[in-house]
Amino acid sequence: LFQENGFRAGIILSGKEKPSTNGIYIASRQTLSRRIFPEVDIVFVDEAHNIKSNEYKIITEHYKEKGVPIGGMTATPRRGDGSSLGDVFETYINPIKMLELIALKRIVGCTYVEPDRTMDFSLLKMKGGEFTEVSQQDSFNNNVAYGDVVKQYKQYLSGKNCIVFNIGKADSQIMHEEFLKNGISSANINDQTPTEERERIYDAYKKGEILVIKDRK
């Protein structure tokens, strides 16, 4: 907000809270749902496909009762559990598409590479419109599949920084070890990685000391 528009906002985030001098706030939903709600004229929710969570319900119900309009922003408006957002929002606006954002250089274009057919797709199972994490792990969990990721990295990105998103913590660790085994500097991050260690890894990644980061929350 400050870099793009010069707006300084108050912060409602546990341990990092700052008062607002202009009525603009940026809030964590977990923190805001446990605080006294500030009086505002409008509420914007980022990653709005998550708006049906318990914390968001506390927030949205409060502001709905006050007659405050609520807007939501998301790149993925279809929820994984198939439930509608129509009971929260009255109007759907699609202001811009991915190709337009790429043309405006707001997001990076993609080049898709098909890996070797090393997964057993017959093991995949659906729940709530998405493949379950356990069945994805069962389908992917073989040495050839892990090795193929390293092979694709060597072929297309050798010596460059790379982020690998994984199915779960177990295969993220195996993937980490597979890169190390091939002499490629690597680090593994998940939701239990201490903040200090996470910052050290990011710093080393920026310096090129670590080439590949594996991530799984």
pLDDT at 139: 81
Could you tell me the pLDDT band of residue 129, with boundaries at 50, 70 and 90? low
DSSP 50: G
Distance CA(101)–CA(145), nearest Å, equals: 33
Q: What is the pLDDT of residues 151-185, one digit of tens each?
A: 999 999 999 999 998 888 888 888 899 999 999 99
Q: List, as one string, the DSSP characters of 111-151.
A: ---PPPS-S-GGG--EETTEE-HHHHHHHH-SHHHHHHHHH
Specify whether the CB–CB gap between 79 and 51 falls below 8 A.
no
Quote the mean pLDDT of the chain. Answer: 87
H runs (alpha helix) in 130-209: 133-140, 143-157, 169-181, 195-206
Packing angle of the helix pair 169-181, 143-157 (nearest 10 deg): 60
Q: What is the pLDDT of residues 17-28, one digit of tens each?
A: 999 999 999 999
Residue 62's identity, in one-letter code, is H
Q: What's the burial of 206, exposed, middle or buried (CB within 10 Å: 0-12/13-18/19+)?
A: exposed
